[in-house]
């Protein structure tokens, strides 16, 4: 590892990523996670984003996206998050510069109902690669589901398991995800960030498209979910966040992750469908241990604003 790359490894930088791009080495990223502001008028801590036309949003996204591409290895993969308003613009830009592989749609069960429209309860994640030489580990992201029709052959379960927790089957992951829970008040991972993604969602992306020890880059880090999950799963990471409060929150979450690598909905190397928490093997460290570890362990993660 070069000295330049070592200085970036497992760091959280508080600053504007566009200003920091010239300081980053080329071709160091194995997996890029982009969760930029959607095309909505919304405030993120001290920062805000204002809705614009679809054409203007597309131009805004492409303007900085092309500057990120040199950071990617030829074998890199990327995931780009969006909602129904921004998804078309994201697809067009991606299609011009990388190889679009799929669009994942995930159910976000939170949201307000509408009287004159359908309730907005889903988001998109575009999966793309730099080339045809890329990593994808389907075995790492299979989903454990209850068996509704437990078919047997010669008296034995066919393609399912009959265990102490019930009858379950490991299923191949699709591009429609209904097993995620948006963090809420009683979940340890919950923060006050307005667009926080579930750790389970990021775990799927990292396990599918990166190997242990590879480098994950997230220039819109937010509350630090990508960094925390990378730490839990043994990936190196660099996160950039413009808001100082959220950058510090991200550093705190990474510190906690070193002492508690559990991810809700992912246990013993397997993803579980929703509403099976009581059946999943427990891997969470006691709260008292986490509080003591956080208080006594100085954070090694950089949270200084760019010069």
CATH of the domain at 101: 3.40.50.150
Is 81 among the domain residues?
Answer: yes
**Per residue in 82-103, pLDDT tens?**
999 999 999 999 999 999 999 9
pLDDT at 291: 54
Is 132 among the domain residues?
Answer: yes
Percent helix, percent strand, percent coil in the chain, to nearest 5? 30, 25, 45
Tokens of 200: 């389970």
pLDDT at 297: 47
> What mean pLDDT, rounded, does the chain reach?
86
Q: Give the confidence band of 285 by pLDDT, cuts at 50, 70, 90.
A: low
What total number of domains does the chain contain?
Answer: 1
Is 304 among the domain residues?
Answer: no
pLDDT at 194: 73
Q: How many CB atoms lie within 10 A of CB 129?
A: 20
List the Cα angle 278/282/287 in 5-degree steps: 110
Is 118 among the domain residues?
Answer: yes
Q: What are the residue ranges of helices labelled H in the chain?
A: 3-6, 17-20, 54-68, 87-97, 199-209, 225-232, 244-259, 287-296
Is 265 among the domain residues?
Answer: yes
* pTM summary value: 0.87
Q: Is the pLDDT of residue 298 over 50?
A: no
Is 305 among the domain residues?
Answer: no
Is 205 among the domain residues?
Answer: yes
Helix axes of 225-232 and 199-209: crossing angle, nearest 10 degrees: 60
**Per residue in 155-190, pLDDT tens?**
666 676 767 677 788 889 999 999 988 877 777 777
Q: Which range (15-19, 44-48, 139-143) has the least confidence? A: 44-48
Q: What are phi and psi of 279, to 5 degrees?
A: -95, -15
State the residue range of the domain holding 245: 3-296
Q: Give the confidence band of 196 by pLDDT, cuts at 50, 70, 90.
A: confident
Is 302 among the domain residues?
Answer: no
Comparing CA positions, the residue from 172, 185, 228, 181 lying closest to residue 203 is 228
What's the Cα-to-Cα distance from 259 to each of 33, 217, 227, 301, rounded to whole Å?
24, 22, 14, 15
Q: Are 28 and 212 in contact (CB under 8 A)?
A: no
């Amino acid at each position: 590892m070069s000295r330049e790359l070592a200085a970036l490894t497992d760091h959280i930088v508080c600053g504007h990523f566009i200003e920091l791009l010239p300081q980053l080495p080329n071709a160091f990223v194995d997996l890029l996670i982009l969760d930029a502001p959607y095309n909505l008028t919304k405030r993120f801590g001290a920062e805000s984003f204002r809705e614009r036309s679809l054409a203007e949003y597309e131009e805004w996204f492409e303007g900085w996206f092309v500057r990120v591409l040199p950071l990617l290895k030829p074998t890199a993969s990327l995931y780009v998050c969006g909602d129904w308003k921004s998804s078309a613009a994201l697809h067009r830009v991606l299609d011009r510069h990388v190889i679009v592989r799929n669009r994942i749609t995930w159910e976000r069960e939170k949201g307000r109902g509408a009287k004159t429209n359908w309730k907005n309860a889903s988001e998109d994640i575009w999966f793309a690669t730099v080339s045809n030489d890329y990593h994808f580990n389907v075995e790492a992201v299979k989903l454990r589901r209850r068996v509704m029709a437990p078919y047997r052959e010669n008296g034995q379960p066919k393609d399912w398991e009959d265990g102490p927790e019930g009858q379950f089957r490991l299923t191949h992951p699709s591009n429609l995800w209904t097993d995620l829970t948006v963090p809420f008040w009683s979940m340890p991972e919950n923060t006050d960030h307005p667009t926080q993604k579930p750790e389970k969602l990021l775990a799927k992306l990292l396990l599918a498209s990166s190997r242990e020890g590879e480098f994950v880059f997230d220039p819109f880090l937010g509350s630090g979910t990508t960094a925390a999950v990378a730490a839990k799963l043994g990936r190196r990471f660099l996160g950039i966040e413009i808001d100082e409060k959220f950058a510090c929150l991200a550093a705190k979450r990474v510190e906690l992750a070193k002492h508690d690598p559990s991810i809700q909905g992912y246990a013993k190397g397997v993803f579980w469908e929703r509403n099976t928490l009581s059946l999943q093997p427990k891997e969470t460290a006691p709260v008292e241990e986490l509080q003591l570890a956080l208080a006594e362990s100085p954070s090694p993660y950089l949270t200084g604003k760019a010069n």
